[in-house]
Amino acid sequence: MENSEIIDKTKVFVKKELSLSEPGHDFWHAIRVLNLSKLIYEKEIMGDFLVIALASLLHDIADFKFSGDDSLGPEKAGSFLMSIDVSEPVVSHVKNIIRNVSFHKGKTDFVSDEFFIVQDADRLDAIGAIGIARAFSYGGFKGSEMYNPDIEPRLNMKMDEYKGYRGTTINHFYEKLLLLKDMMNTNTGYEIAEARHRFMLGFLSEFFSEFEGLK
């Protein structure tokens, strides 16, 4: 099977599996991550694009925030890829990327060029205009307060704390989103992140001015 056919089959599978997903973690999130991964891959000239594409599409196939199980995503992705006869080394690599890509995992011993690209792409989709939209979409989905000045951001949370924590959406910028620029793996990822980071700072400045009734 040609790589393009494998990728197309994976898109069909992901679109079906994520058809009822929260909008910030849906099929279009997977497509945006794929597009960003492709951009970084073409700029950096590194990695195996089939692995990058499949991991981009499948990285949130069973996100722990919704499934409550860290192992479900890699296993579900692996089962699908094996069903369409993707080679075992590719399947194993994709599963490792999915297993380690999330912010809540923190630092990991697993490294590869493909992992670096997909992780940057996923993090880029969490910042900028899209990142702001996704943050408020997810906050609404979870029933979180938009902002409460009496609730301080919680920084440097451990994985178990992060999993069960539900703060305000604005605090999420300080707990995660504003940290992502300096966590990029590639030069291209960092360049894109700088612009998106500045956009978020401008948004927050405007938000607080409006919240205090200064505008």
Q: Which fold has domain 3-211?
A: Hypothetical protein af1432 (1.10.3210)
Q: What is the mean pLDDT of residues 9-29?
A: 95
Split at pLDDT 50, 70, 90, the class of 107 is: confident
Say yes or no to pLDDT of 13 above 80. Answer: yes
Q: Tell me what pLDDT residue 93 has.
A: 98
Q: Tell me what pLDDT residue 191 has.
A: 98
Reported as half-sphere exposure (CB side, CA atoms, 13 A), residue 23 has a value of: 11
Q: 49-76: per-residue pLDDT in tens?
A: 999 999 999 999 977 665 556 668 899 9
Pick the range with the lowest mean pLDDT from 108-112, 113-117, 130-134: 108-112
Split at pLDDT 50, 70, 90, the class of 91 is: very high
Say yes or no to pLDDT of 104 above 80. Answer: no
Q: Tell me what pLDDT residue 36 has.
A: 98
Mean of all residue pLDDT scores within the chain: 91
Q: 164-183: per-residue pLDDT in tens?
A: 667 899 999 999 999 999 99
Burial 158-173 (b: 16+ CB within 10 A, else e): eeeebeeeebbbbbbb
The residue extents of the domains of the chain are 3-211
What are the distances in angstroms from CA 121 to CA 102, 150, 159, 197? 11, 34, 21, 14
